[in-house]
Amino acid sequence: MSKDAPSLPDVEAILARVPYAAFLGVRAEAHGDELTLILPFKKPLIGNPALPALHGGAVGAFMELTAFAQLSVVARLTRLPKTIDITIDYLRSGKPVETFARARMVRVGRRVANVHVEAWQNERAAPIAALHGNFLLAEKA
Amino acid sequence: MPAGPKIADDAPAFVRTAANMMGKFTPHAVAIGFEVAAISRARAVGRVAYREDLIGDPETGVIAGGVVTAALDQVCGMAVMAALDELTPVATLDLRIDYMRAATPGRDITLSAHCYKLTRSIAFVRAVAFEDAEDDPIANATSAFMLTARPAQPEP
């Protein structure tokens, strides 16, 4: 990892500047250059109150933010990437507890990055959802 | 906001009786300000008003892609409901979204979904997000839903 890459405070600063990240209540933790994003549970994230289960859209949005945050670190972006396309697989019902997500860069090209994200709750090996997507990268610093 | 959703006569009876409440039972739909605009057989139209706390890019004021994702998921689920004859729990299996362009800052977003195929266990849905016309889309979505979602198992 280049020493020029944004450090964690930068990622938190990026998240803090995005009103929607605050709306969801997303936080970030770094282990070296690998980020874990955390979505604390709150009632407005519920999609199905009968189960209860998290809204698929909220889980998808959380994974998209995880891709943005990890891309910002890896590709040293000064501006947020743009989403070209995303595919979300819903694997398990999201329980009303804290959710975590990590992104893996499948390929980071000059203009486009292909990213895979997994979201899980109590058990890392039992993901509740996965996302893969293509993102258009803005100019590098 | 409009007085209430437009409900076509061909919408399922259980949907017609609950149409004014549709979405109100979904806390996350309420949180992003999702409103049902119209329901007809196998079709649903929803709207999300522009709001500053939903901005995804502070430099442009463009609403977050996640809001569009959540609203598309919601409207797709409603189109599935509108294709069924009785209230059936559904769960999203997958959702693919292609983003053609950024949403226009300050504008409301309309979401239109069509459940174009229903099998015994799976519903297939297409949806589009736009401001003025479907042929000038912000995003397209395709999604598959499982019918009769298995209820959460009680904790041991």
Please give the Cα distance from A20 to B10 (Å, whole number): 37
HSE of A115, CA atoms in CB hemisphere, 13 A: 31
Domains present along chain A, CATH in parentheses? 8-136 (3.10.129.10)
- Report pLDDT for B6: 85
In sign, the C-alpha dihedral spanning B73, B79, B83, B87 is positive
Strand B6-7 versus strand B34-40 pairing type: parallel
Q: Which runs of consecutive H residues, i.e. helices, occur in B47-154? A: 65-81
Q: What type of residue is A81?
A: P
Chain-wide mean pLDDT for chain B?
Answer: 89
- Report pLDDT for A1: 47
Nearest residue, CB atoms, A60 vs list B56, B57, B66: B66
Average pLDDT estimate for A6-17: 74
Chain-wide mean pLDDT for chain A?
Answer: 89
Q: Is the ipTM of this complex over 0.85?
A: yes
What is the least distance, in Å, from the CA of B3 to any CA of chain A? 24
Q: Which of A41, A55, A71 to mutate to test the interface with B (most CBs of B within 10 A)?
A: A55
Flag whether pLDDT at B154 surpasses 80.
Answer: no
Using a CB–CB cutoff of 8 Å, tell me whether B122 touches chain A: no
Taking the domains of chain B in order of start, what are their residue ranges?
Answer: 6-147
Render pLDDT for A35-80 as a digit per residue (tens, 0 to 9).
Answer: 999 999 999 999 988 889 999 999 999 999 999 999 988 887 777 8
Render pLDDT for B3-23 as a digit per residue (tens, 0 to 9).
Answer: 678 888 888 887 777 666 666
Please give the Cα distance from B95 to B93 (Å, whole number): 7
Q: What type of residue is B95?
A: L
Tokens for A75?
Answer: 């590709």
Q: What type of residue is A94?
A: G
Q: Residue B1 — very low, low, confident or very high, per pLDDT cuts 50/70/90?
A: very low
Asked whether the beta carbons of A18 and B55 are under 8 A apart, the reply is: yes
CATH superfamily of B6-147: Hotdog Thioesterase (3.10.129.10)
Give the residue on A whose Cα is nearest the Cα of B93: A90
CB pairs under 8 A between A and B: 135
